[in-house]
Amino acid sequence: MTEFGGQPNRIEKNTKIKGDITSEADFRIDGKLEGNVKTSGKVVIGKDGYINGKVECVNADIEGKFNGELLVKDLLSLKSSATIEGTVSVAKLAVEPGATFNAACTMGKGAVAVPKTESNKNEPAKVS
């Protein structure tokens, strides 16, 4: 994962956040997020992680749970412990045996545009 300012962007286990996150760097969710994530990097949902909302990213690895709208420009990788519900738009999809995929899926090159984040180098990523 890409590091931002020397530290990876991360929501730790036992942490619950309500709100939206916009970042140019990668993000790892091991806690719970009720809201949206928009990044021009990669999103990882750890085994104990959960997102209920909309995620826009370039790549995603999911071990935990996701419910909502998932827009992945390149590769979505679902690990055996993953549970996905909602709608998914992705260029490439890899699913390990054991993963639960209950989603309407649009797949193929050009299915998703590159997420653009508004960048202001003087301000840190915002959580609202």
On whether the CB atoms of residues 112 and 92 are closer than 8 A, the answer is no
pLDDT of res. 92: 95
Give the domain extent around 37. Answer: 9-109
pLDDT of res. 113: 60
Q: Domains in the chain: how many in total?
A: 1
Domain assignment of residue 128, yes or no: no
Q: How far is Cα 118 from Cα 92, in angstroms, rounded to an integer?
A: 26
Segment 114-120 shows an average pLDDT of 55
Per the structure block, which two tokens stand in for 90? 């992705």
Domain assignment of residue 3, yes or no: no
pLDDT of res. 102: 95
Q: How many residues does the chain have?
A: 128
Is 50 exceeded by the pLDDT of residue 71? yes
Domain assignment of residue 22, yes or no: yes
Least confident of 4-8, 57-61, 111-115: 4-8
